[in-house]
Amino acid sequence: MQITVRVPTPLQKITAGKSEVFASGTTVKAALADLEKNYPGLRERLYGEDGELRKFINIYVNEEDIRFLDSENSALRDGDVISIIPAIAGGR
């Protein structure tokens, strides 16, 4: 099973400049763990020391926020697309 993962610019230094990479797994959590195997250092950018996804990281599966699905346990199918989107704050 192949999942496409869209990587934001700040994390592309970990993925050798690639904006899209591939992972496998039947859940979001499994796919993110698979990414860590291929791109060491990604996990520490996505997860806090408590093992939870960082609050400022938004994860979407096929444009659906996983917070409104089954969070990291959201099921994946072949061909799904995961988007990692850092939150943007600030301004006036």
Report d(CA 58, CA 23) in Å as an integer.
18
* Residues near 81 by beta carbon (within 8 Å), at least 6 away in sequence: 3, 4, 5, 6, 61, 62, 63
Task: Supply the pLDDT for residue 88.
Answer: 75
* 50-88 tens-digit pLDDT: 999 999 999 999 999 999 999 999 999 999 999 999 987
Mean of pLDDT over the chain = 94
Residue 31 in this model has a pLDDT that exceeds 90: yes
Which bin fits 44, alpha (ψ -120 to 50), beta or left (φ > 0)?
Answer: alpha
Pairwise pLDDT comparison (37 vs 92), residue with the higher score: 37
Mean pLDDT on 30-52: 95
Task: With a cut of 70, say whether residue 91 has pLDDT above it.
Answer: no
Q: Which residues contact 33 (CB under 8 A, 6 or more apart)?
A: 25, 43
- CATH architecture assigned to 3-86: Roll (3.10)
Beta strands in 13-62 (DSSP E): 20-23, 57-61
